[in-house]
Structure 1
Amino acid sequence: MIDIPADATVRPLLIESRSAPAYCCLIDDMEIDDGLPWYHDIYHFLRLGVYPEVATAKDRRALRQLATRFVICGETLYRRSPDGMLLLCLDHASADRVMREVHAGVCGPHMGGHMLARKIMRTGYFWLTMETDCCQFVQRCPECQIHGDLIHVPPSELHALTSPWPFSVWGIDIIGKISPKSSSGHEFILVAIDYFTKWVEAAS
C-alpha cells in the first residue's frame, strides 16, 4: 500500500480523444505549407538518413518508427501492407484523382467511404489519411447524395407473416417489362409464392 501525504497535490489524469487514427497524428498535415508532400521527411530519412532541421527528439523518434513501414524502390516510395504488398505513396493531388476514378470512374460503383479506402489499397495506393479523406469525398459526391437511401423512419420491430396451412396465403408479384419478349410475345412474368411451403409458380 502506498502512503500519500495529506498535503500532496493529486493531478487528474487527462485523456485526449482524437478523431483520426494515431499514425495520422504523427504528421500534422497531409500537405506541408511549402507544398511538399506528406512523405517528404520519410523519403529523405530513408534515402539520406537525415532528419528535418526543426525536428525535436520526440519528432525524430516518431519519424524512425513511421519509416519502418516504408521502402524506396528506385526513386519511388512505397508502404508495406500487412500482406506484404507494396502500396505506392500518393500526394494530395494524385490521391484526389485516384478517389475520383475509383469511386465514380468508368467502373466506379459509388461505394461508401470505408469500402472506397479498402478498394484503393487493393488497387495498390496509399496515403496517411486515406479513410478520413475517402469518407469526406463520398459525403461531397453529388450523385451519392441525390441517389442515396433516405433513412428517416425510426426503427421498429419486424412482424413475421405466417401462414396456418399450405396454400392459404399467397404472395404475388409482377416482373416486367422484359426484353426481349418471350416466344409467345409476353412482356411480363407473374410470380406467385405460397408462404407456408415456399412453393413458387411463374407464368409469362
Structure 2
Amino acid sequence: MALFEEVESFDKEKWTLVFDGAYNGLGHGIGVILISPENQFIPFTARLCFDCTNNIAYYEACVMGIKEAIESKVKVLEIYGDSLLVINQTKGQWETQDAKLILYHTHIKELTKCFEKITFHHIPREGNQLADTLVTLSSMFKTSIGQDVSVIKIQQKNKQAYCLSIEEEPDGMPWLYDIKSYVKNKEYPLGISENGKRVLRRLSTNFFLNGDRKSFKRFSSPWPFSLWGMVVIGLIEPKASNGH
C-alpha cells in the first residue's frame, strides 16, 4: 500500500493508525489497523448496530482507533483515512455543519489531548484496502452482546491441497514395492483404482529386473546387450541400415 511507503522512516515513539468505515448491503461496519513502531499490525473491527450514514461510520472508526491507541499508551500517533470529509474536518480545514458530526468532531478533539503529538492524513481508497477488508468482515457477522466470535485463522500453505489428502497408514513397504511386483508378476495391489493401474503401468516402463530378478534398476540411458545379460543367436532380418 502507498501508505506504508510514506511511513518507512523508523521512529521508536510513533504509531500509525489506519481507519475505515462504510455501509453495504450487509450492514454497517468499521475497521482499524494500529501499527506499532516495530511494524506490528494490530487489527480491530466492529459492527454498528444502529442506523447511520457513511460519514458517521467513518467517524466511529476514527474514534475507535484513537481509543485503542490511548489504551495502548501511545503518545505519538499518525492517523490515516480515506474519508476526505472526516480528515479535513478533524484538521479544522473544513467547517462541520451537520449537528450529528459536530458531536463526533468535539469528542475527537477531547481525545487528542491524551497525545503528545497527533496528526491526520488523507490517503486514497486504493491505499486503504486492509482496513476496508475489516469493514467488510465486520458487516457480514451478526453477534449479540456477550457472544464470543471465533478468531479468524489465517494460514500459509506451501503445498497444493491434493498433496495433503492421503490418509492411508504406511504399510512398511518401500515405495518401489508395487512397481516391482507389477514388473515381475504383472500384479496390481489390492483395491487399486483404474486410474491407479494406469499410473502403475506408466511408472513400470521406467524400470527393469536385472539378472536374478532381485536387482531392480531404473533406465537412465539405453543399455547394451552385455549389461542386459542377453545372447542373440541367429540371423537378424531385416539388416540394419549400415549393412550389419
Query: Normalising to structure 2: TM-score of the pair?
Result: 0.22
Higher RCO (CA-CA < 8 Å; seq separation 6+):
2
Instruction: Choose 1 or 2 for highest CA Rg.
Output: 2
Between Structure 1 and Structure 2, the one with more helix by share is 2
